[in-house]
Amino acid sequence: MSTEITRIFDFAYYQLDKYNLSKAFVSKVTGEWVATSTKEFVAKVNIVSRGLLALGVKPGDKIALISSTNRTEWNILDIALLQIGAVNVPIYPTISEKDYEYIFNHAEVKFCFLSDEILFEKATAIEKNVKSLKRIFSFDKIKDCAYWEEVFTLGSDEGLQEKVDKLKDKVKPGDLATIIYTSGTTGVPKGVMLSHNNLVSNVLDSVPRLPLEKGESTVLSFLPVCHVFERMLHYLYLYSGLTIHFAESIEKIADNIKEVKPHFMSVVPRLLEKIYDSIIAKGADLTGIKKRLFFWAVETGLKYEPYERNGWYYEKKLKLANKLIFSKWRAALGGNLSTMVSGSAALQPRLSRIFAAAGMQVMEGYGLTETSPVISVNMYEGENFKIGSVGKAIDNVEIKIADDGEILIKGPNVMQGYYKDPDKTAEVMTDDFFHTGDKGELDKDGFLTITGRKKEIFKTSGGKYISPTLLENEMKQSRFIEQILVIGEGQKMPAAIVQPNFEFVKEWAKRHDVNCGNTPEEMAFNQDVKKRIKEEIDLGNQNFGKWETIKKMELTPEIWSVDNNLLTPTFKPKREVILKKYKHLYDKIYGS
């Protein structure tokens, strides 16, 4: 190998040297897929590096990147910054102006590159309060905003390339590469400092777990690249010589999958839940023998066990189910999708079973921003796949379970610390082990199972421990329930605040001739709807001990989303924010 990989930008040169793809990155521009080759990508990276130097960017300068969707420009700028020793500060597009202002000032952001007009308005609203900020550039052409092509014009001076190369040589594996601000549900965001080596080691140690055809596979990217999971995967795709297509948006992902026909993609459980629910809804609309066959296949798939552990008769049935039903599922998802990797939240075991039965394995993994992110991940090969677990630790990463059940991590992927916050860093580090804040169990074979978030596990007034994550995951299997938050700390019983799946409620009401109105408000306050959802809760309760079952619930009339700050960018409920917003429902449940 002629390119040794020790810094993040080495991945781009490695791909040029080994694969030199005609399509490295593919974005949709005015309705057409536009490809950028590896050679073109590297050339643009160097032009932008030169342009940044002409702007006055120096090693160690913090540059903010904000984009509403994943796009080629983000990746060009990322590598261009890193190879001159600057620090990439990616920011979630959906956070509040107040958080923008805090991050810009805390990181002392010098320049900001953003994607569109909405983000430009947010950034300009706080610009006057950020003394360090010199200029804002945009990827789209926006009135009154400097267009990022200006950097290309500045970088056309090839005389600056020698300076780029010298700076590149000075970047060390242990140098700070990025500060990622975690979207905290309480207090101010924390800036996680990751070095080149943190991310490079995580890529190289994760590669053996993913069944990718190097230089031949196509991937679809839609999870936010400002999130470390998707970003690390982009580096992994570069290293593996894969063509990356960027989805236009979460709304258009179904269309994009059909167009791109990916072999591989990263997902979050919420997306798989939605895909599964939409498939089941289509099956429910069938009639006669077609409907019976459909649900026979689903029932067969839900009993799936890996490595043919169900025996030859089951495998025979599964083969028939694949031929008659699951082949259509695969076709609807492009026809080539064989593996998905899932992270960010617990995956319902039924989804793991059904998608694996349908020939689209979901490899569940576990990680945090502070661990760059991958700690463990399942792999089908070599009996390394266990449904309900998050797999075994990747190479060079050590997992230890503390006396109180907390998961502790040691390895080259563990962050350098929290930016400008040595006290918070000291709180989470003990003898080189990082305290994840999650609780889990390791079995004798090394499979890790997450049992809950340490801070979220609570005690009722009777002294019984409750793990809300386990209850929530069970209840979300109901098509009536879109989101749920289990509550009850210090109270005599657990309860829940529920956001119904309003689309499905409408369908159900139509089928059963129930008049529950058309708006979310009308549905949420309808007693028939509430009674029906309570039946679903009671059904889910059967899998739990009496002390931990949900006794009461209230429905919310709003849809929880990233935009209204009730969900994180990876679609997990923001506990503290939801409790604050729905305090009146909490008080109603507990009679406060």
Average pLDDT over residues 580-592: 91
Would you state the structure tokens that stand for residue 53, as one six-digit string? 């130097």
Number of residues that this document lists for the chain: 592
Would you state the structure tokens that stand for residue 128, as one six-digit string? 């006057």
Domains 264-409+432-451 and 458-590 in one fold = no
Per-residue confidence at 187, pLDDT binned at 50, 70, 90? Answer: low
In degrees and rounded to multiples of 5, residue 518 shows phi and psi of -115, -20
Residue 69's pLDDT is 93
Average pLDDT over residues 179-197: 85
Distances (CA, A) of 306 to 267, 337, 348, 392, 468: 21, 18, 16, 16, 28
Average pLDDT over residues 258-277: 92
CA distance 382 to 252: 36
CA distance 537 to 553: 9
- The domain over range 458-590 is classified in CATH as 3.30.300.30: yes
pLDDT value at 570 more than 80: no
Would you state the structure tokens that stand for residue 117, as one six-digit string? 């007009």
Average pLDDT over residues 35-43: 98
The burial class, CB within 10 Å (0-12 / 13-18 / 19+), for 462 is exposed
| Closest to 181 measured CA to CA, from 71, 96, 268, 73 | 96
- The domain over range 10-171+210-260 is classified in CATH as 3.40.50.12780: yes
Please, are residues 239 and 212 in contact by the beta-carbon 8 Å criterion? no
Residue 1's pLDDT is 39
- Residue 269 per-residue DSSP state: H
Q: How would CATH label the architecture of 264-409+432-451?
A: 3-Layer(aba) Sandwich (3.40)
Per-chain mean pLDDT for the chain: 94
Report domain extents, the chain: 10-171+210-260, 264-409+432-451, 458-590
Average pLDDT over residues 174-198: 88
Per-residue confidence at 231, pLDDT binned at 50, 70, 90? Answer: very high
Q: At what angle do helices 527-541 and 468-475 cross, to 10 degrees?
A: 120
Residue 184's pLDDT is 54
Question: 233-258, pLDDT tens digit by residue?
Answer: 999 999 999 999 999 988 899 899 99
Least confident of 106-115, 189-198, 268-277, 393-402: 268-277
- Judge if the upstream peptide bond of residue 90 is cis by omega within 30 degrees of 0: no
pTM for the model: 0.88
Distances (CA, A) of 347 to 35, 94, 235, 273, 314: 33, 24, 25, 9, 24
